[in-house]
Structure 1
Amino acid sequence: MSDFPTPATDRPEHCENALLTVDLSALRQNWRLLADFSNGAECSGMLKANAYGLGLEPVMRALLAEGCRTFFVATAAEGERARAVSETAAIYVLEGLPPDCGELIARARLIPVLGSLEEIAEWAPSGLDAAVQLDTGMNRMGLPLEQTLGAASAIRPRLVMSHFVTSQTPNDPLNERQIAALAAARAAFPGIPASLCNSSGIFLPHKPLLELTRPGYALFGGNPTPRGPNPMKPVVRLRARILATRDIAAGETVGYDATWTATRPTKLATVGVGYADGVPVGASTAPGKPPAEALVGGRRCPLVGRVSMDFIVLDVTEAPPGAARRGEWVELLGDEIGVDELATRSRTIGYEILTRLGPRYARRYV
């Protein structure tokens, strides 16, 4: 009934209602492609948010095996997990130096990304490695450009970096302004490597690759060129089991608040995932948007009604004979339905789809 090997769990497969498969081979191929596009710049790996929801430790081990040696995490706690995987990797902490966390960061040999003169003043006396983040337009984190000289007089960082605002829009003039701003500001740090490119930045025609690139979303199969074909391989496959089926007449409704009404005799399949598992409420049926879909026996079938905590309901009237039975698997994410498509049909972004993949899934790494 299923082509999944037994998941890595104490429960037998027939007791699992959803299986999330992470293709580490595809992940490694994606990193290699991004490294090739980095054109001589070092290509790092982004591990924040538990490696975009896919598991920091297995993802980091796979990237290390492919040759990645520099990683970025969001928090010091993530940095400790990463350090437990590798004694020698360079691990940068994007949230910088939280108050009273200097000892922890030093003990784990993490590299804080400093974004204020206060942080620099606190860390500089340690003499330990740090990065300096400059704000070239994001207005979120980073040192205002007018403070660059003050920072340079206090610390000699290991890396100078900034972050693109609109790299998914190649022709946006803000990209050029940020590239120029970082080029001018890094003059205060002669001989220090610099980094600007996220996943989409690597594919900009400007080629602002500098010495280090920092891909994240594209590593995990997201499209870094959303106005064109996706050059990345899908990494995530999500299947869930049909728990029940029923036939309803035209005029009957489905789910909370009766948001969907059948216009014909309809066969329904209830599937054992919901918003507690990371299926967005935005995937619910709504006027004026294409429905989210799942593959049932290879046929696309629309989600109907509202996503609830533990369930979604599919209209499987057009599914192949025998494919929509209790116990059969449907595919929500995979080669045909990627994270970007599910995100678009859920009125969100693929980053949210990945990072909210729920803990109830049985997870397999292949």
Structure 2
Amino acid sequence: MKSWVEVSERRLTENYRLLTEAAGDTAMLAVVKANAYGHGAAVCAPVLVRAGAQWLGVTDVAEGAAVKTALEAAGIARRQQPGILVMSGLLREDAEEVVRLGLVPVVWLREQMEWLAEAAVRVRMGPVAVHVEIDTGMARQGVKPGPELNSLVAWVRGAAGIRVDGVMTHFASSEVAGSAQTVRQRKLFEEAISAFGDAAVWPVWVHAGNSSTVDNQGDEGNLAWLRGLAAMVGAWPMVRAGIALYGYCLPIEGEGLSEVRGELQPVMTWKTRVIGLREVEAGETVGYNGIFVAEQAMRLALLPVGYADGVRRELSASNARDGGWAMVRGQRAPIVGRVSMNLTIVDVSGIEGVGLGDEVVVLGDGVTAEDHARLAGTIAYEIVCGVRVGYRCGV
């Protein structure tokens, strides 16, 4: 294998512990959607369940089925498996699979719940558990508080095939301390929870927020507020942690106090091997369009990874602009020239003893997803989610 990701079970478990401690009396759903943010859901999901996760979050039905298969392959029987929340909606053709597998879908439309109720009859299952999402300001998924929600709640109350297991929303600015948007969203979510209580529809779970909601403790209130809101309808409070499980978290903006960001450890180490070595003389060009010209004799190493694998093209380097780097024998090896589709060239002139087949760290200790994100003008989420290689679970 020329390129692979090693996932640290120890670091993933420790990150989970840090986050659950920070969440306190609020339960935590561990998000493994988008292939566990590029870390390999089949690898990470069993680790998180063994660490104590009672809920996992996936993108869609296909991911939910794959995670269930991975849990069983890891020796976690179905009766021991956590709830699996399908977080990004469903279509009519998904409904029967959701019911058959016992997944818990996020819904916000009456049509979605009608499809599920019909599928339950076909599969001869009892009421289908759902989590109703409230749109409090994201304008993505969710039903708006007010007449639209009231109508939906009235329908749910009389629906025999649906059981409201949870009510949820998503904060748009949870990494911003004292965010006015979060304050508005909280008020709208309170209205929504009251609508369920007034209709005597009692969810088991009330949940909101993400990794930054756990990390942003400077507001002194979001988690406490969530616990109080859940208590209004006799429910359990829950927060959803995603990227922080894997060692990254957005910095808190404003007068916020970060709870765990500085203690998190990146879980992913992306490695490759040197597949070529060559000497170039001063004046020779390197890579596409000759944007890098050697100013002196150099020794270059060829790596079998590029933008098709997740190494962003923005990490390219010219004589006028430094780019990214890889770690070779524990030292920085700067990228030279343009990152190609499946190949990248690094400068190993000052690194002794580099040979064919040597392991190289593309992402990991010494070169993080935040380093790549800074150079690419994006966030660490996009970097790790863009990695497309094989996976191994390590220490």
Q: TM-score, normalised by structure 1?
A: 0.88
In the alignment, is residue 53 of structure 1 matched against residue 38 of structure 2? yes
Match of 1:196 among 186, 200, 208: 208
Contact map agreement 2:43 2:393 (CA 8 A) in 1: no
Count of aligned residue pairs for this structure pair: 348
Amino acid at match of 1:148: L
Contact map agreement 2:43 2:391 (CA 8 A) in 1: no
CA gap of 1:36–1:290, structure 2 versus 1, over 3 A, is farther
TM-superposed CA distance for 1:255, in Å, is 0.7
Separation (CA, whole Å) in 2 of partners of 1:347 and 1:315: 23
Separation (CA, whole Å) in 1 of partners of 2:56 and 2:107: 16
Match of 1:244 among 276, 279, 302: 276
Separation (CA, whole Å) in 2 of partners of 1:317 and 1:188: 67
In the alignment, is residue 259 of structure 1 matched against residue 291 of structure 2? yes
Deviation by residue 1:125-149 (Cα, 9 ceiling, x = unmatched): 7532100011111111111223221
In the alignment, is residue 69 of structure 1 matched against residue 54 of structure 2? yes
Contact map agreement 1:306 1:312 (CA 8 A) in 2: yes
Match of 2:328 in 1: 296
Match of 1:111 among 90, 104, 117: 104
Match of 2:29 in 1: 44
Greater helix share, structure number: 2
CA gap of 1:177–1:108, structure 2 versus 1, over 3 A, is same
RMSD of equivalent CA atoms = 2.2
Contact map agreement 2:12 2:267 (CA 8 A) in 1: yes
In the alignment, is residue 213 of structure 1 matched against residue 242 of structure 2? no
CA gap of 1:294–1:171, structure 2 versus 1, over 3 A, is farther
Separation (CA, whole Å) in 1 of partners of 2:183 and 2:312: 35
Match of 2:169 among 154, 162, 165: 162
**333-342 vs 77-86, greater mean Cα deviation:** 77-86
- Percent identity for Structure 1 against Structure 2: 31
Match of 1:9 in 2: none
**304-313 vs 248-257, greater mean Cα deviation:** 248-257
Separation (CA, whole Å) in 1 of partners of 2:252 and 2:106: 29
Separation (CA, whole Å) in 1 of partners of 2:333 and 2:240: 37
Amino acid at match of 1:27: L
Contact map agreement 1:117 1:143 (CA 8 A) in 2: no
Contact map agreement 2:43 2:392 (CA 8 A) in 1: no
TM-superposed CA distance for 1:334, in Å, is 1.5
CA gap of 1:35–1:295, structure 2 versus 1, over 3 A, is same
TM-superposed CA distance for 1:69, in Å, is 1.0
TM-superposed CA distance for 1:239, in Å, is 1.9
- Unpaired segments ≥5 residues, structure 2: 72-76, 121-126, 157-162, 227-236
Amino acid at match of 2:109: S
Separation (CA, whole Å) in 1 of partners of 2:263 and 2:155: 42
Amino acid at match of 2:392: R
Contact map agreement 1:121 1:154 (CA 8 A) in 2: no
In the alignment, is residue 148 of structure 1 matched against residue 149 of structure 2? yes
- Unpaired segments ≥5 residues, structure 1: 1-15
Separation (CA, whole Å) in 2 of partners of 1:362 and 1:216: 19
Q: TM-score, normalised by structure 2?
A: 0.81
Contact map agreement 2:177 2:252 (CA 8 A) in 1: no
TM-superposed CA distance for 1:234, in Å, is 1.5
